[in-house]
Amino acid sequence: MIEAKRIAGALGAELGGVDVSKPLSKGDLAEVKRLWLEHLVIFFKDQKLDEKQYMAFAGQFGEPVEYPMVKGLPGFPKIIEVKKLEHERIPFGGIWHTDTAYLERPPMASMLLAREVPPAGGDTLFANMYLAFDSLSPGMKKLLEGLKAVNSSTKADASKTREDALKASAEKARDFLAEHPVVRTHPETGRKALYVNSGHTVRFAGWTEEESAPLLQFLFSHQVKPEFTCRFSWQPGSIALWDNRCAQHNPVNDYHGYRRVMHRITLAGDTPR
């Protein structure tokens, strides 16, 4: 019996009664997917699974794909290690963002499995982009629905991994660039979500960066208001599955001097519309 416990008013639910190390039944998988679409991000605790089982679990929700510019684990190229060591100060993706919005087909979802966590800190914040759009004025909605945004992989150093930095120092890093609607319609729920993010969005299509900056700064602040967010505290064996089409996330960098090791799988998505 799958139990869903909401962790905040805006989004997020912990699911109990699920052992993800084994294939889910057809009925359980349908229920988990329904809860995921309803809550935008779902969490599973105390899961014991190896890389092969982790890949099998992710494959029930979509097609795992390799992450651009980051090498995967040996034997499992579609699992990347998200690691911050004791001496490091910058975490992986340490800014509010939607994963790889600079791709023509950004990922549908991302999945994170905690392997090692600090004794305190290292939580992840999530934000609901349905609510961010719904709470705007009618005039602002009308303006934004006619715009596209330019997203670049080189915008935010804070969202680069140690591997990215090493590659960039050895060779010129490739700049991924993509234009997407500022307001996208979720292909499964039909709901509209605000689809810009401070990690990758540089300007509006047809606008200069200077012209775009005031409106983008307003949107970046608006979309992560506390009432649109939830916060998850990790333990080894915790898993998060979030919907990149309607949610953003931000890892909290408050555990200097400790290790944090996570394994991430990215699931293929479609072209935002």
Catalytic residue list contains 273? no
Catalytic residue list contains 99? yes
Q: Which of 97, 186, 200, 245 is catalytic?
A: 97
The total of other beta-carbon atoms located within 10 Å of residue 126's CB is: 27
Q: Which of 200, 203, 260, 264 is catalytic?
A: 264
Catalytic residue list contains 200? no
Q: Which of 39, 99, 180, 200 is catalytic?
A: 99
Q: Which of 203, 249, 260, 263 is catalytic?
A: 249
Whether the Cβ atoms of residue 12 and residue 124 lie closer than 8 Å to each other: no
- Dist. CA 242–CA 37, nearest whole Å: 9
- Dist. CA 251–CA 91, nearest whole Å: 8
Residues in Cβ contact with 55 at an 8 Å cutoff, skipping those fewer than 6 apart: 64, 76, 78, 79, 265
Q: Could you give the C-alpha distances from 212 to 15, 95, 138, 161, 216, in angstroms and in order?
A: 40, 20, 20, 27, 6
- Dist. CA 233–CA 66, nearest whole Å: 26
Catalytic residue list contains 186? no
Whether the Cβ atoms of residue 55 and residue 41 lie closer than 8 Å to each other: no
Catalytically active residues are 97, 99, 249, 264
